[in-house]
Amino acid sequence: MRATLRDHASRAVDRIRAVAGLVESHALALGALATALVLVGVFYYPVATVFVDAIVVDGRPTIEPLVSVLTSRFYLVEIFGFTAYQAFLSTVASVALGLPGAWVLARFEFPGRETLRSLTILPFVMPSIMVAIGFVATFGQNGTLNAVLRALGLPTIELLFTLPAIVVAHAFYNAPLVARVTTAAWESVDASAIETARSLGASPVRAFRDVVLPQLLPAVAVGATLTFVFTFASFPIVLALGGFQLATVEVFIYSRIQNLAYAEAAALAVVETVISLSLTYLYLRYEGRQRAAGQGARPQPRRSLWPESVTSRELGTRLAIVGYAVVVLAVFVVPIASMILTSLTGPQGELSLRHYRFLVERQQTGAAYQVRPLPAIENSLVFGAGTLLVGVPMGVLMAVLTTRDFRGRALVDALSMAPLAVSGIVVGLGLLRGLVFGIEVFGTRITATGAVAIVAAHAVGAYPFVTRNVAPLLGNLDPRLIESARSLGASRVRALLDIELPLVAAGVVAGAAFAFAISIGEFDSTVVLAEGSTSYTMPVAVERYLGRRLGPATAMGCLLLGVTSLSFVVIERFGGRYGRGGF
Amino acid sequence: MKRRTFLRTVGAGGVAGLAGCAGGSGGGGSTSTTESATTQTQTGTTTGMAGGTPELVVATYGAFVDAPSTSPGPWIKETFESEFDATLTFATPDSEINYFIERALQGVEIDADAYVGLNVDMLIRIDDRLDDGLFADVGDVDGRGEVKDGLNFDPQGRIVPYDTSYVSLVYNETMSDDGTFTAPETFDGLLDSEYEGDLLAQNPTGSSTGKSFLLHTIKAKGPDGYLDYWQELQNNDVRVLSDWSSSYTAYSNEEAPMVVSYSTDQVYANREDQDLAKHQIRFLNDQGYAYPEGMSVFRNADNPDLAEQFLEFMLRPEVQGEIAQRNVAFPATTTAELPDDFAEYAQAPPEAVTFTYDALRDNVSEWTQAWERQFASN
Amino acid sequence: MRLTLEDVRKTYGETIALGGSEGDQPDPAAGGGANGISVDVDDGEFFTLVGPSGCGKTTTLRLVAGFEPPSAGAIRFDGESMRGVPPEDRDVGVVFQNYALFPHLSVRENVAYGLKFGDPPGGESDAERVASLLELVDLPDAGDRDPAELSGGQQQRIALARALAPGPDLLLLDEPMSALDAQLRERLRMQIKEIQSELGITTLYVTHDQEEALAISDRLAVMNGGAIEQIGTPRDVYRRPATRFVANFVGDNNVFEGPVVSIRDGREFEKTTTSVDNDRKSPDETEGSGRERMVDVDVGGTTVTVASDRRVDTGDRVVFCVRPEGMSVVGDGGDGPGTDRAGIESRARSGGDGSGTGFGDTPANVLDATVSKAEFLGESTRSHLRWNGQEVTVRSVDPLEGDVRIGFDPSAARVVETEQGRGP
C-alpha cells in the first residue's frame, strides 16, 4: 500500500517536473505569447478601433480621409511641417542641453552625483500644467529670470508664447533623457582604448573624437530619436506655453476627436504615427549596424569636480561646468522651485501651508467619489511597481527576441516601439472603445478596467524604454557566454537570468527607472481606465485639483515630485546592487 | 545521461516561478474577465443598501463634484439623499458627454440616469451623431416654468438649464505705470495698438470660455467678418492658450492685463480677500456671452421617475441658490434664493447674447475649423 | 560515449556550411554519405576536426553541442538521436577559444555553475567537486579570484574545469588554444590530453593547427569546404594523405604531377564503368597493402618511379607527393651517387614497405635542383629548391646551397590523385 502510494507520489512529482520542464524550455515562447497578447489587448486592438476610422467610413472602405490630409497644403505644410520643425529644434536643444550633463555625470566625481543622476529622470513625470506654472513663473515677463536680469542691469527677455518657449520646455522634458542614456554609454567607454589612442600621439580632444565619440553616438542617437518622437506628438505644453498659433498635429487630432470627427482625426493620427515610426525604423537600422566591442570594459576614472591643479585648461573646464550649471539652474531648478513656491503661496502672496492643509482635509473628509491624495499616491506607487513587474520582463523579452538576426528585424523592432509613436489621445479613445466598452462575445460584454488594465496599459507604454536600454547591451554580449551556460545545463531562460541580465544590469536598471517614470507620469490611458473606480493616480489628482486657485494642484504636484524622487533614488540604489550574482 | 533522462528540480522550480511572472504579464486573459465596473463602483459605501434603496446615477463633469474650492456636488448629494429614499451616485467620465455618445455609438448600454452639465455644443454633437439622441423628453418638470427666457438652448425641450455663466473680460487695473489700466469697451477697441499683446484667450476646442469668446466675436462681427477681425486681433498679438487654467495662470502672473474669463470672477477674488483692482470685469460691447448649463434624463434610464424628481429638486429656489453660490454661476430660474450680496460680486451683463441651437448646429463646426486653420497658419 | 554523425548537412539559406552541394557525388568512403558528413567517434576517443577556416569544423561542433540544428542528417549519442534535444540536456562540456568565462562570477562560481543543474558525479559535494577540478587543472587557489585577474592560459584551464565539472559525457573543444602563445599552447595541450585520458572522456576537438591535431588526437578528420577529406590516425593521415588537399595541408609536402608512361611489377587493371576508382579512397579501407605497383610518371620531361597502391593505367594523370624528409641529398649536381650528405631524417618513416630500393642505396629517383632559399629551424634546415619549374622542399641537418642532387625512393612517394587518361 505504502509503496504504491510513494509510487504514485513520485510519478506525480515526475509529472509536475515534466510540466515545469516543458514550461521552462518554452518560457521564452510563452513570454513572447503573453507579451503579444498584452500588446494586442491593450494597444494594437484598441488603437486599431480608432485607426480604422481613417479607412472605413460609414461601413465602406475609403482612402478619402487620408487623401484629404495628404493633399491639404494646410495640414502638410502648416501643421506637419511646423510640427516636425519644432520637434527638430527641440531635439537639437535637448541634445545640446543633455550632453554636457552626461559629461559631468560620467566624468566627474562629486558628492551627491548618484542622487543627482537618479533625479535627472524627474522631469519625465511632471504633469504639463505643473511645467507650465513653473515656466510662467520662471520665464515670464515678471518671472525670476527677468528679475535677475533686471537686478544685473541687463535687458529682459520675452520668452513666453513663442517658439523658443516650446523648445525650452521640450528640452526640460527630454534633455534629461538624452543625458541619461549618454551617461550610461560614457561610463562604459573602455579607458584602455583612450590610453592607447593617447599613447599613439592623439591629443585628448583627438582621442575623444576618435575613441569616445563613436561609442557615444548610438546613445545620443537613441536619445535624439526618442526626443523627436515625443516632441512630435507633444500637445498640452505647446498650447500652454506657445499658444494656438504654434499648434501641432496633436492639437488638431484632439480637436477632431472632441468634435467626434473621427475620420479626420484618425487620418491625422495615422500620418503622425507613420512619420514617427519611420524615423524610429531608420534609427533602429542604424542601431543594428552599431555593434561595439564586447563586455568587461574598464571605465575611465572620474575626475574631481574641484581642479587638482591650477592650469588654464583645468580652470577653463571648471568655468564651462559653472556656465552649464547656470543654464541648468535656469531651465530645471528655478521652474521646479517656482512650482514648490507656488504650492506654498497664499492668495495674498504670503507663505502659507493652506494648500497642503487642503490636501489633508480632502484626505480626511473627501467623499468616495472625490479624488483623495493618499489613494492617489498609493495607486501611483502600486501601478508603478506593477509596471516594473510587467513592463521590465516584456521589454527584456523583446530585447532578447530582437537582438537575434532575422529578416525584417528592424521592422518588428520599430513596430514594438509603436506605443511611443501613437498619439496619446488616440490610445485613450481606443482604450475606451476596446477595453472600457469591451467586446461582445456570446452575448456577454467582456470589458477590462481598473488596476489590472491600467498596469497593462502602463507596461505597454513603458516596455519600449526597457527594450531600448537593454537591446544594444545584449547585442554586444558574446553569444558564447550563453552557449557555455546552456551546455552546462542552463535552459535558455536560466542563461538569460543567470548570465545575460546581470551583465546588462545597468541597462535593465535604467530601463526600469524609465518604466517607473512612464507609469507615474501617464495620464491619457489612466484617466480612461480609472473611470468610475478609485484607481486614480497622482497626475489625475493634480488635474482634478486644478481650479481657479493653483495652490491645491501645485501642492499635489509637489507631493508627486517628492514621492517620485524618493522612488527613483530607491530604485537605483536597489538596482545598482543587482549587477553581481544574478537573481 | 543524467541530464537527458531527468528533469532538474532546481531549474524547474526556478523557472516555474518566472513562468508565473510571465503569466502575470499576459494578463490579457485575466484582464478581460474583469467585471465591467465603469459606473457601478461609484456606489462605494452604498452598495450594501442598494437592494432596498433605489440608486440614482448622475453623470457630470469632475469640477461639479470635486473642485478644490467649492463644488455643488457634495451638498446636492447630501440634501437629496436626506429627503428622498435614494442613493445618489456621481459618475465623472473624463471625456464627459463624449463618453456617453461613444457608448451609444458602440452600442454599449448606458449606465446612468441623468446628466448634469450639458451645453449647446454637446447637444449638437449628440444630435449630429445619434439619430435617437441620448436624452428623454423630460416634459414639464416642476419649476421649469421659472427658467429664465433665453437660457433654454434645446428647441426640443429635452435639456433643462440649471445655471448660467457669462463670458467676459477680466482685467487688472494695476498693470500700467499709473495703475489705471482699463480694458477697452468694444471689440474694436481690442485692436488698438495700445492693447497689443494684452489679451489672453483660450482654445475654443476644449475650453468653454474660449468657445464662447469666439462665438461672441462672430456675434459681434458676423460670420463674414469674424475671421478678418481675428486676423487683426492676432496682429495685435492676442494669445490663445490651451485652456482656462493656463491662461489664468499667465494672467495671475501678470503676463498680460486681460484674460477671457467669467463675469463671476470677483466672487472668488473677494472670497480670498484679493485686490479687486486686479479682477475687474469688462463686458465688451456691453454684452456678455451666455453659457447656460443644462441637465436631462437619459433615455432608458433605470430610474426615470427618480431622475425627474432629481431635476425638479435641482430647480427648487433654495437649491438653485446653493448651486449658483457653490458653482459660482448665476441661477437658471428667476425664483432662486440668493443672499443679497451675491449680485455685488457676481456681475451680470447689461445684455446677454448667445446663438440659437439652430444657428450653431448649422455653422459651429465650420466657424471653428475656419478659425483654427487661419489662426494656426500664421 | 560514442558520438555518431550520419550524413549531417548544414545550410544557411543558400549557403552550404557543411556537406557537399546537391550535384556532388556521394562519397561514403571519406565520411561523406549522401552529400553530408559522417563521423564515428568511439567511447573515450580524442577525435579532432582540423581544417582551414571556413571548412565547417566549428559548424560541426556547434551542431553536436546543439547550439544549432542540422539541416539534414542525424547526430547520435550512444545511438540516441539528438534531434530536438536542447544543449542543456545533452551532457556536453564546451570550451571556447575566448574562454567565455562569466565575467560577473568568481572562478569558483564559474566552475560551480553547471552543478546548479545536477549533482556532481561520484557522490561528491559541489564544493568538493569544484575543489577537485581546480586541482585537476592545477589552479587550486584560484577559486576566489575574478576571471579577469587570470592570465589567458589560466582562464582557459578554468573554462576546461567548468566544462568538466558536471561530468559531461562528451567534451567539445573549439580552438581552445588559438589565443595563447606558442609555448603555453604546447604545455596546455599536453595537459588537456593528460586530463582527457585520465577521465577517459570522449572528446571532439576543433583546430586549424594541423601540428596540434597530429600531436593530440587519437584520430582526426581533415575538413575542407564543408566536407571531410580524410579520417584516420595522425600517423596514417600524415603518411598516407588521401587527397592532394590533405597532402598539402598536413605537414610540408612536395607535390608532383604528370602522366603515367609505364607500369612495372604490376598488372594492368581492366577499366569498367563500375570502377570504384576514387580519388579519396583510403587504401587501408578498400584494398590490402602489397598490391602496389611501380609506376613511371613523366614529370615535366623527367621520368620518376613511384609506388602506387591505386589502380592506374598508362596514360592516366597522377598526382603524388613526397615529404621533405623523404628526400635525400645525393650529391652536388653532377657528383657521383652515394654521398648521402644531407642524411635522411628517418627513412623508415618516409616510405612504405613496397618494392623500393634498400636503405643506403642510391634512391631510384634523382633530381638535379638549385637551392633558392633556406630556413634554419634549429634541429634541421628546410631548403626550398627550384627544380623543373617547380619548388621542392627538402629537410636536412646541414644547410644546402647552390646546385644539389636530391633523390627519393618510389616508396617515399604517395599517389593522392588520379585522373583517367584515354587508355593504352
Q: Write the pLDDT tens digit of every residue in B34-74.
A: 333 333 333 333 333 445 789 999 999 989 998 888 889 99
Asked if B49-164+291-346 and B167-289+359-377 have one fold, the answer is yes
Interface of B with A in 312-351 (CB under 8 A): none
Report pLDDT for C336. 38
CB C399 within 8 A of CB C383: yes
Based on the fold, state whether residues C233 and C360 are members of the same structural domain: no
Interface of A with C in 118-157 (CB under 8 A): none
Contacts of C88 in chain B (CB under 8 A): 3
We find that the CATH architecture of domain B167-289+359-377 is 3-Layer(aba) Sandwich (3.40)
Q: Give DSSP secondary structure letters for A349-415.
A: S-B--HHHHHHHHHHHH--TTS--HHHHHHHHHHHHHHHHHHHHHHHHHHHHHHHS--TTHHHHHHH
Instruction: Please check whether residue B82 touches A, CB under 8 A.
Output: no
Q: Is the pLDDT of residue C347 over 80?
A: no
Mean pLDDT in residue range A57-70: 91
Q: Which of the 8 DSSP states describes residue A244?
A: G
Interface contact A37-B28, CB threshold 8 A: yes
Interface of A with B in 100-119 (CB under 8 A): none
Boundary-marking domain end, from C182, C209, C244:
C244
Among A508, A517, A515, which residue's Cα sits nearest to residue A583?
A508
Q: Report the distance separating Cα A33 and Cα A25, nearest Å.
A: 14
CB C323 within 8 A of CB C252: yes
Cell of B127: 444630435
Q: Is the pLDDT of residue A57 over 70?
A: yes
Instruction: Please check whether residue A258 touches C, CB under 8 A.
Output: no
Q: Is the pLDDT of residue C411 over 90?
A: no
Q: Is B224 exposed, middle or buried (0-12, 13-18, 19+ CB in 10 A)?
A: exposed
pLDDT digits (tens, 9 = 90+) for A285-332: 887 776 554 444 567 788 888 877 778 888 888 999 999 999 999 999
Interface contact A488-C118, CB threshold 8 A: no
Interface contact A553-B39, CB threshold 8 A: no
Domain that holds residue C148: 3-244
SS3 string, chain B, reads: CHHHHCCCHHHHHHHHHHHHHHHHHCCHHHHHCCCCCCCHHHHHHHHHHCCCCCEEEEEECHHHHHCCCCCHHHHHHHHHHHHCCCEEEEECCCCCHHHHHHHHHCCCCCCCCEEEEECHHHHHHHHHHCCCCCECCCCCCCCHHHECCCCCCCCCCCCEEEEEEEEEEEECCCCCCCCCCCCCCCCHHHHCHHHCCCEEEECCCCCHHHHHHHHHHHHHHCCCCHHHHHHHHHHCCCEEECCHHHHHHHHHCCCCCEEEEECCHHHHHHHCCCCHHHCEEECHHHEEEEEEEEEEEECCCCCHHHHHHHHHHHHCHHHHHHHHHHHCCEECECCCCCCCCHHHHCCCCCEEECCCHHHHHHHHHHHHHHHHHHHHHC
Domain map (residue ranges) of chain B: 49-164+291-346, 167-289+359-377
Cell of A549: 486657485
Q: How far is B205 from chain A (nearest CA, A)?
A: 6
Q: Report the distance separating Cα A232 and Cα B18, nearest Å.
A: 38
Report pLDDT for A291. 54
Query: Could you tell me where the beta strands, DSSP code E, fall in C51-199?
Result: 72-77, 80-81, 92-95, 170-174
Interface contact A369-B73, CB threshold 8 A: yes
Based on the fold, state whether residues C180 and C275 are members of the same structural domain: no
- Tell me how far CA of residue C37 lies from CA of A206, B97, B144, C57, in angstroms: 53, 73, 95, 11
Residue A130 confidence class, pLDDT cut points 50, 70, 90: confident
Interface contact A484-C100, CB threshold 8 A: yes
DSSP H helices in A56-154: 64-70, 73, 82-107, 113-119, 128-139, 144-151
Instruction: Please check whether residue A157 touches B, CB under 8 A.
Output: no
Residue C277 lies in a domain: yes
Instruction: Please check whether residue A20 touches B, CB under 8 A.
Output: yes
Q: How far is A293 from chain C (nearest CA, A)?
A: 14
Instruction: Please check whether residue C104 touches A, CB under 8 A.
Output: yes
Q: Report the distance separating Cα A197 and Cα B360, nearest Å.
A: 73
Instruction: Please check whether residue C77 touches A, CB under 8 A.
Output: no
Residue C50 confidence class, pLDDT cut points 50, 70, 90: very high
Average pLDDT, chain A: 87
Cell of B258: 486681460
* Facing B4 at nearest CB: one of C89, C116, C166: C89
Among A173, A127, A164, which residue's Cα sits nearest to residue A145?
A164
Question: Which percentage of chain C shows pLDDT scores above 90?
Answer: 43
Contacts of C89 in chain A (CB under 8 A): 489
Based on the fold, state whether residues C230 and C258 are members of the same structural domain: no
Q: Which residue of B has its CA nearest to A347?
A: B272
Q: Is the pLDDT of residue C328 over 60?
A: yes
Residue C288 confidence class, pLDDT cut points 50, 70, 90: very low
Interface contact B3-C118, CB threshold 8 A: yes
| Single-letter amino acid, residue C388 | N
**Domain A63-291 sits in CATH 1.10.3720.10:** yes
**How far is residue A379 CA from its own chain's centroid?**
19
Q: Report the distance separating Cα A551 and Cα A228, nearest Å.
A: 33
Average pLDDT, chain B: 86
Contacts of C91 in chain B (CB under 8 A): 1-4
Contacts of C162 in chain A (CB under 8 A): 484, 488
Report pLDDT for C422. 56
Pick the residue of C104, C144, C162 with the most A CBs within 10 A to test the interface with A by mutation: C104
CB B214 within 8 A of CB B357: no
Report pLDDT for A210. 84
* Facing C117 at nearest CB: one of B1, B4, B11: B11
Q: Which of the 8 DSSP states describes residue C49?
A: E
Interface contact A550-B203, CB threshold 8 A: no
Torsion sign (Cα): A58, A64, A69, A72: negative
Based on the fold, state whether residues C218 and C337 are members of the same structural domain: no
* Facing A140 at nearest CB: one of B12, B91, B253: B253
Helix, coil or strand: residue C141: coil
Based on the fold, state whether residues C55 and C99 are members of the same structural domain: yes
Residue with cell 542622487: A115
Based on the fold, state whether residues C188 and C266 are members of the same structural domain: no
Residue A188 confidence class, pLDDT cut points 50, 70, 90: confident
Residue A531 confidence class, pLDDT cut points 50, 70, 90: confident
Q: Which residues contact A172 (CB under 8 A, 6 or more apart)?
A: A123, A131, A135, A331, A332, A335
Contacts of B9 in chain C (CB under 8 A): none
Q: Is the pLDDT of residue B371 over 90?
A: yes
Mean pLDDT in residue range A379-400: 94
Mean pLDDT in residue range C80-109: 92
Report pLDDT for B50. 46
Report pLDDT for C349. 31
CB C29 within 8 A of CB C281: yes
Residue A244 confidence class, pLDDT cut points 50, 70, 90: very high
Instruction: Please check whether residue A375 touches C, CB under 8 A.
Output: no
Q: Which residues contact B188 (CB under 8 A, 6 or more apart)?
A: none
Q: Report the distance separating Cα B185 and Cα C294, nearest Å.
A: 126
**How far is residue C341 CA from its own chain's centroid?**
32
Going by DSSP bridges, is the β-strand pair C15-18/C3-12 parallel, antiparallel, or unpaired?
Answer: antiparallel
**How many domains does one find in chain C?**
2
Interface contact B10-C117, CB threshold 8 A: yes
Q: Which residues contact A578 (CB under 8 A, 6 or more apart)?
A: A502, A505, A508, A509
Q: Is the pLDDT of residue C415 over 50?
A: yes
Pick the residue of C81, C89, C94 with the most B CBs within 10 A to test the interface with B by mutation: C89
Q: Is the pLDDT of residue A230 over 50?
A: yes
Q: Is the pLDDT of residue A21 over 80?
A: no
> How many A/B residue pairs have CB atoms within 8 Å?
275
Report pLDDT for C311. 81
Q: How far apart are the first and last CA of chain B?
A: 78
Q: Report the distance separating Cα A556 and Cα A370, nearest Å.
A: 14
Interface contact B4-C166, CB threshold 8 A: no
Interface contact A489-C67, CB threshold 8 A: no
Q: Report the distance separating Cα C96 and Cα C98, nearest Å.
A: 5
Q: Is the pLDDT of residue C278 over 60?
A: no
Query: Which residues, listed in sequence order, are joined to residue B260 by a DSSP beta bridge?
Result: B169
Superfamily of domain B49-164+291-346: Periplasmic binding protein-like II (3.40.190.10)
Helix, coil or strand: residue A577: coil
pTM of the predicted structure, to 2 decimals: 0.82
Report pLDDT for C54. 87
Residue C424 lies in a domain: no
Based on the fold, state whether residues C135 and C45 are members of the same structural domain: yes
- Tell me how far CA of residue C168 lies from CA of B3, B130, C220, in angstroms: 9, 73, 21
Report pLDDT for A164. 94
Q: How far is A323 from chain B (nearest CA, A)?
A: 28
* Facing A245 at nearest CB: one of B253, B273, B376: B376
Interface contact C102-A579, CB threshold 8 A: no
> How many A/C residue pairs have CB atoms within 8 Å?
80
Q: Which of A145-149, A441-445, C82-86, C313-317 has the lowest mean pLDDT?
A: A441-445
Q: How far apart are the first and last CA of chain C?
A: 52
pLDDT digits (tens, 9 = 90+) for B343-357: 889 999 999 999 999
CB C149 within 8 A of CB C170: no
| Phi, psi of C382, deg, nearest 5 | -105, 120
Q: Up-side HSE of residue A12: CA atoms within 13 Å toward CB?
A: 6
Q: Report the distance separating Cα C97 and Cα C175, nearest Å.
A: 5
- Tell me how far CA of residue C336 lies from CA of A498, C398, C399, in angstroms: 75, 19, 20
Contacts of B102 in chain A (CB under 8 A): 429, 432-433, 437
Based on the fold, state whether residues C132 and C274 are members of the same structural domain: no
Neighbouring chains of B at 3+ CB pairs within 8 Å? A, C
Contacts of C80 in chain B (CB under 8 A): 4
Q: How many residues does chain A have?
A: 583
Q: Which residues contact C120 (CB under 8 A, 6 or more apart)?
A: C126, C128, C129, C165, C166, C167
Based on the fold, state whether residues C237 and C267 are members of the same structural domain: no
Cell of A443: 452575448
Q: Which of A296-305, A557-566, B189-198 has the lowest mean pLDDT?
A: A296-305
Mean pLDDT in residue range B174-198: 93
| Dihedral angle over CA of A24, A25, A29, A33, nearest 10 | -30
CB A387 within 8 A of CB A516: yes
Interface contact A478-C90, CB threshold 8 A: no
pLDDT digits (tens, 9 = 90+) for A327-384: 999 999 999 998 898 899 888 888 999 999 999 999 998 888 888 999 999 999 999 9
Based on the fold, state whether residues C123 and C236 are members of the same structural domain: yes
- Write the CATH number for C58: 3.40.50.300
Higher-confidence position of C363 and A94: A94
